Amino acid sequence: MSATSAFSAQASTGQPQSQKVTRVLTGITTTGTPHLGNYVGAIKPAIEASLDPNVESFYFLADLHALIKCQDPKRVQESRLEIAATWLALGLDTDNATFYRQSDIPEIPELTWMLSCVCAKGLMNRAHAYKAAVAENEEADNQDPDKGVTMGLFGYPVLMAADILMFNANKVPVGRDQIQHIEMARDMAGRFNHLYKGSFFSLPEAVVDEKVQVLNGLDGRKMSKSYNNTIPLFVAEKKLLKLVRKIKTNSLEPGEPKDPDTCTLFQIYSAFASAEDTQAMREEYAAGIGWGDAKNRVFEYLNEHLREPRERYLALLEDPAHIEAVLQKGAEKARAQAAPLMDRLRTAAGLGRFI
Ligand code: TRP
């Protein structure tokens, strides 16, 4: 990894004077167990970006967001621990990056309220997640188009805007489905700045990295918890073998040449392997490697690469006190940024102290 990344370009408009480096921020909703697709698509690039000295990174567990779609406390609690342990096991340097839990920063829900009061309801009506819920109700001929829609779901983009604006993030690495939310955050930032006559907030930009791979899952569709086709990043060795064997292939026999470019197994392999090893595997496909052999090779490769971080991960899960301490320290660092800005915002809105 070079010392600069895609993120270290000139910061965007509205940058407060005191802030010299580009701020990169992203949140991970804590409802699932990290899988290979999360690793390749989000975790690995984020950890690498955090090594760039021209970048200040903020990564957080979006556990308030988790409550929107998951009301199983055990799952939320487990997922928070698993995700934190995963990022730490993979080498996130928490002296360098600010790593925290959203729910440890009371300024975030406070800012959410302030933004709610400048955010047009009509803007939220256009949010994808809400529109999808309404469309589903209409399709099912439900009397109430808002059936099952909570205020949490409806206002989801406001909470997300608060996450971003609270730390004056310039760049927000996200998947395509989240671009609209960043645009909404810009809209809210602009309105607030205009209404209260100040440059309180930078205008964030979404960063969608075209080079980052979207990994396919066991059934060949995009690897995703909602398709139930994932390979968890740190499953036990035996289970990993079992899952790799389940990856869908075709009925070509050993000896018949196979096409790597339409093959999920190859795609997963190449996301981890070096260019050289990927090329060698490509040649094996052309020479007609059998699916059983190919799967064993992919398993061996993944297992080799995941062994060490898996050991660290398991050790971390055994030591929640350590994880808690790391996150508390992260929250302190984050609040040192959030609290002074929140004071300015309160004063701007007429909620300042009397003396
Ligand atoms: N909504 C994002 C997702 O589902 C997670 C998220 C919450 C987030 N707050 C954020 C991402 C702020 C970027 C910035 O993927």
For 224-265, the pLDDT digits (tens) are: 988 999 999 999 999 999 999 999 999 999 999 999 999 999
**pLDDT score recorded for residue 111:** 98
Residues 6+ apart with CB under 8 A from 209: 6, 45, 173
**What's the CA gap between 351 and 343, in Å, rounded?**
9
Q: Answer yes or no: is the C-beta of 65 below 6 A from any ligand 1 atom.
A: yes
Q: Side by side, which strands form the sheet with 55-62? A: 98-101, 55-62, 22-29, 171-173, 205-207
Mean pLDDT along residues 79-94: 97
Nearest atom in ligand 1 to 163's CA: 12
Q: Which of 174, 182, 186 to mutate to test the pocket of ligand 1 (most atoms within 8 A of CB)?
A: 174
H or E element that contains 213: none
What is the model's pTM?
0.92
Which class for 96: exposed (0-12), middle (13-18), buried (19 or more C-beta within 10 A)?
middle
Nearest atom in ligand 1 to 181's CA: 1
Identify which of 173, 157, 199, 161 has the alpha carbon closest to the alpha carbon of residue 23: 173
| 3-class SS of residue 247 | coil
Is the predicted pLDDT of residue 13 greater than 50, yes or no? no
Indicate the DSSP class of residue 69. H
Cβ-based neighbour number of residue 305 at 10 Å: 12
Amino acid at 242: K
Q: Answer yes or no: is the C-beta of 38 below 6 A from any ligand 1 atom.
A: no
Structure tokens at 185: 């955050």
Q: Residue positions in the annotated binding site for L-tryptophan? A: 163
- Please tell me which residue, 355 or 292, carries the higher pLDDT value: 292
Ligand 1, atom 13, lies closest to the CA of 26
Amino acid at 175: G
pLDDT tens profile 293-302: 999 999 999 9
Mean pLDDT along residues 188-215: 93
- CATH number corresponding to 6-214+319-349: 3.40.50.620
Under the banding of pLDDT at 50, 70 and 90, the label for residue 211 is confident
Nearest atom in ligand 1 to 102's CA: 9
Fold classification of 234-315 (topology level) = Tyrosyl-Transfer RNA Synthetase (1.10.240)
pLDDT tens profile 163-194: 999 999 999 999 888 999 999 999 999 999 99
Q: Answer yes or no: is the C-beta of 295 below 6 A from any ligand 1 atom.
A: no
Is the predicted pLDDT of residue 201 greater than 50, yes or no? yes
Q: Residue positions in the annotated binding site for ATP? A: 29-31, 37-38, 175-177, 215, 222-226
Q: Which of 99, 181, 212 to mutate to test the pocket of ligand 1 (most atoms within 8 A of CB)?
A: 181
- Percent of the chain past pLDDT 70, that is, above it, reads 95
pLDDT tens profile 309-339: 999 999 999 999 999 999 999 999 999 999 9
Structure tokens at 11: 């910061």
Domain coordinates in residue numbering, the chain: 6-214+319-349, 234-315
Under the banding of pLDDT at 50, 70 and 90, the label for residue 8 is low
**What's the CA gap between 209 and 174, in Å, rounded?**
8
CA 52 to chain centre: 19
Q: Answer yes or no: is the C-beta of 178 below 6 A from any ligand 1 atom.
A: yes
**What's the CA gap between 14 and 200, in Å, rounded?**
8
Q: Answer yes or no: is the C-beta of 107 below 6 A from any ligand 1 atom.
A: no
Mean pLDDT along residues 135-150: 95
